Structures are given as C-alpha cells and as structure tokens.
Amino acid sequence: LSTAVLLSLFVSFTLDPMLSSIWPDPDAAHQHDRLNGRVSFRKRPIAWLLDEFQRLLDRLTNLYSHILAWSLRHRLITVLIAIGSLVAAFFAVGLVGKEFVPQADMNEIKVKFETPVNANLDYTQQKAAQVNAVLQSFPEVTNTYATVNAMSYSGNNRVQVNVSLVPKDERTRGLDALNRAMREQLQQVGGIKVTSVAAAAMAVSGGLKPIMISIKGNDLTELQRLSNEFMQKLSNVNGLVDLESTLKQPKSMVNVTINREAANDAGLSIGQIGQALRPLLAGDNVSTFKDDNGNNIDVNVRLNDDNRQTISQLQSMYLSSSRMDQNGQPMLVPLSQVANFSETLGAPQINRRSLFREVVVQANTDGRPAGDIGADITKIQNEMKLPPGYSFAVQGSNKDMAESIGYATTALGLAIVFIYMLLGSQFNSFLYPVAIMASLPLSLIGVFFALFLFGSSLNMFSIIGIIMLMGLVCKNAILLIDFIKESLSKGLSRNEAIMLAGQTRLRPILMTTAAMVMGMVPLALGIGEGSEQQAPMAHAIIGGVITSTLLTLIVVPVIYTYLDDGKQRFLRLFAKKKAEPPAIERHDSL
C-alpha cells in the first residue's frame, strides 16, 4: 500500500500535468467552436454520456450547496447529529461478531476422531475405513486421505482424515453446512469419538481449535473433576461443537511395586529390574536394516504379544540375579518373588505449564464467531468457584485476538499522532488539523454498519482495514480546509469561502471516493479461494470511506467554524489584555 501511494504521488506530479497540457478541455473546445460558429448538434454517444454525467454532478453540487448552507445556519444540530451517529455506530459493534480470523474455504476439510484408548492398530484402521466410506458418500467430496498416528495427532487410537472438496462455485453447500452434515453422519459410526470437523485452512492459528481454555492446578483428580464440570456447562453454550479435553479417558495400567527387601535378598537392585523389564515390555532397538527403497528401518526386539498380555505372564518372568547357584551360574528369580502387581487406571498423558499440571478444554465453533462465544465462556468461568491454587487461562484464537487488538490499538494511536504532526507542519497551525482529523471517528460509523450489513465480523483483517482508513479519509478534509484558507486569503468571508470550497472540491472528493470504493468491490465480493478472510477488510474500507466522505463534506466545515470562532475569541482576549495600560500605583502625602 505504501509503495502504491508513493507511485501514485509520482504519477500525479509528472504524468498528469503532461497529459493535461496536451489533452483538450471539452468545455473550452466547445466554447471555441461556438465563438467560431461551428456548433455541432450531432453529439457522439460518449460525449452525450459525459454531458449527462456532468448534469448529474451539477445537480449534486446544487443539492450539496443547500445542505451545507443549512448546516452552517444550524451548526449545533449538525454536530449533535454527527455525535449521535457515532454513538449509534458504537452500539452497532454489539451486533457485529468478533473473531481472530474468518474461516477460509480452501475446498478442504479435516476430520479427526478417536477409538477407545486400549484399541489396537488393526481396530483403528477398520474404523478409519468406515469413516472414509461415510465421507466419500457426500457428492461434494472428491477424495479422502486417512492417517493413523500422524505426527500432529499421535496415538494408535487417533485418526486424521483430510477431505478434498470440489471448488466452492460448484457446490450448493458451504463449509459450515458440510461440516454440520458430516458431523451428524459420523455420529452413526460406532466405536469412535469425533473430536473435530473443521476447515483445513487454519494456517494463521496453527491448525488448533479456536476455543481453548486452560485449567491449571496441582492435583490431577481435582483437575479431572473441574474439567468435567466445566465441559458440562460449556455443552449448553450455543455455537460450541467438538468439545474435548486433553485429559483423555483413563487407560488401564499394571503397577509393579518392587519389594526392596525381597529384591535385596535375591541379589537384585531396582535398576537391574527396570533394565530387564524395559526391553521385554517396551522393546529395544538393537539394529537397523535397509529395505528395497533404501530406507533405514529400526529393528525392535521385545516379547511376543502373546507373552505379555496378563499379570500372570508378567509374574512368571525370570530375572538373572547377581548371586550364584550351586553350579556357579546366576540364579533365576521369578518377578513375582520380588514384586507385587496391581491393576489400576491412569491418565495416558499429563501436561504441565508454568510448574502446574494442566488440562486444556478445546472446541470448534458453528454458526457463531469465537469472540462472541468467548464472552459466554467468560461468564461461566466467573460463576465457577475454583479451589485455591487452581486457575483458568484463555488460549487459542481469543487470546491471539486480544493480543492483536492491543498491537493494533498501539499502531492506530501512533498513526493518529503522525497524521496530526504532518498536518500541523503542512498548515502551520495546531488548531486546523483538529478539524481535519474529525473525519477519523466519522469513518467508524460506516465501518461498523458495513460489517453488520455484509455479515462480516470484527477480526484481524477488518482491523487492518480500519488502520488503513486513518490515512485515507483525511484527504477529503484536507482538500476542503486548504481551499477555505486560500479563499480567505483572497478576501472572501468565512461562509463564502466554505461554500465556494464545498462547490469546487465536491467533484474531486466524489471521484477519489468512487475510485477507492470500486477498487475494493472485487475484494469485498469474496471471489476466489480463501477470499473470505480478506473480504472483511474491504467491507470496512468501503463503509468507512463512504460515510466519512458524506459526513466530512458537512460536518468538517461546521467544526472548522467552531474552531475558528474559538481562535478569534482567544485573539481578541489576548489583544484586549495587551492593550490595557499598566496600573499606576498612587501614594497620598500629608
């Protein structure tokens, strides 16, 4: 954008004056023909169209002159109308959804599901084939690709399916409708739990779910209770789907408790027992071999599955002792002699953050922006009474949006400061830039109403559009104020200068505004893959430019008159104090 603005500035200083010098003025040429008796009554279609457009601009100028004259006579009413419109715009913010980035339709959907915790790989593979069959039954699906134990979704019971769709202009259903239909169909597949059905194009958020709430504490059992209660309350929130927790279903485990005294009597240490059990149960990579494709594959050696399924099989394992038998050979000690066995349930994975154990509750959104859902979640968090030492923390896209809004606010503040400094140096005044910058808040009226009318949300891209507006909307007020100052220097009265400035500058203001709006229309229409993310920026710019132009033409001259009145009062007061003679001290003598 900065490069484009600099190039347009260069063209306006070089190419435009050159073209104006060789391009004939139609009005001047027509006047010359009339003076020489060569008036043509047959106009070409283009000339007729331009004449009609000229008459339309003349009627707009006449209408604008009446509105501006009325505004100068009723200045207080005009300012109150502008303030009321701004207040109404801020109320309209509540009607606009809030999210970090909009969902982009890249013709791909990612489905994730889980089988039971203790399911083996063959069972998970069978369920993946069933899910593929369900997904391929949709006419919008071209192909599917399922991965078990993927790097980003690890576990023998976890499956990730990438679903490719036909282009969106060939579909009758959008992503939201397809996600909803697929989620409903997959609920019919037994033995699985669907954890996510969402658009695959989530590069900005790293592919994570938009709603992520962290619960931190010390005791895992208490975290389990709190997360279950929290998820029960979240299930009633409108727009939340695919609700899950990182604290998965407990997995059956066998605890092996070593009897230290018995192990010492048998000549076994804790380290020896652990080093003996690990390769037998978990396996040990002892070598590698190269396949026909040249890939190196690890050779893992461990007990056969049939020999490590039950506790009795573990108890019958023999360990080599450091003590010798009568033949001078190491004694073989059964594991049941030195250890106790118990079957229990345990968490398959324990996460930690900031020295605390953590459970993250995640969810996707359906039909509502993540920012609006985040407000409902905050109410639930405030209602829940956490024990001492336990806390909530917002993660995911809502946290990213809060951080981004902070950065955007800083950038917006710096932009306003720089604009004021530049205008102050240009007009050699600290007062007149205030009238010009009054067009900045007026642009927000159109921004919020345009987002509401287009059905867009307040997100990172629309915020970027608001920041861009700060540099675009000031140009109209600059044209007006500069012409007013020039007219005042020629001896016109203030109202005459304002009326002349409005009539003269109306056409260039309308032309530049129309050019910016038309340039943003293709982006606002959301044509092409992934255009849903950039469209809110165009919506914000179009609404802001239109309303700022309409209100700037009326409100800025009125604000200028108020500032000029204040300046004149200050100058008269200063001149009066300066003209007063100094007080003379009198002394009476006897």
The average pLDDT across 543-566 equals 87
The average pLDDT across 94-113 equals 84
pLDDT in tens, 478-502: 888 888 888 888 888 888 899 998 8
Whether 443 contacts 473, CB under 8 Å:
yes
Whether 477 contacts 551, CB under 8 Å:
no
pTM assigned to the model: 0.75
- Note the pLDDT of residue 132: 92
More confident residue, 533 or 37: 533
- Note the pLDDT of residue 41: 43
Rg, C-alpha atoms of the chain? 38
- Note the pLDDT of residue 136: 92
pLDDT in tens, 429-463: 888 888 888 888 888 888 888 888 888 888 888 88
| Among 299, 569, 298, residue whose Cα is nearest residue 431 | 569
| Among 486, 484, 492, 507, residue whose Cα is nearest residue 558 | 484
pLDDT in tens, 46-65: 767 777 778 888 888 899 89
Determine the Cα–Cα distance for residues 512 and 22; give it in Å rounded to an integer: 23
Tokens of 358: 């953590």
Tokens of 222: 């208490």
- Note the pLDDT of residue 182: 92
Chain mean position to CA 308: 50
pLDDT in tens, 322-358: 777 777 778 888 888 888 888 776 666 778 888 888 8
Q: How many CB atoms lie within 10 A of CB 338?
A: 23
- Note the pLDDT of residue 134: 92
Share of the chain above pLDDT 90, in %: 8
Q: Is 107 helix (H, G, I), strand (E, B) or coil?
A: coil
Whether 83 contacts 551, CB under 8 Å:
no
Q: Considering only 459-468, 513-522, 574-583, which range has the smallest mean pLDDT? A: 574-583
- Note the pLDDT of residue 31: 52
Average per-residue pLDDT for the chain: 82
- Confidence grade of residue 590 (pLDDT, cut at 50, 70, 90): very low
- Confidence grade of residue 589 (pLDDT, cut at 50, 70, 90): very low
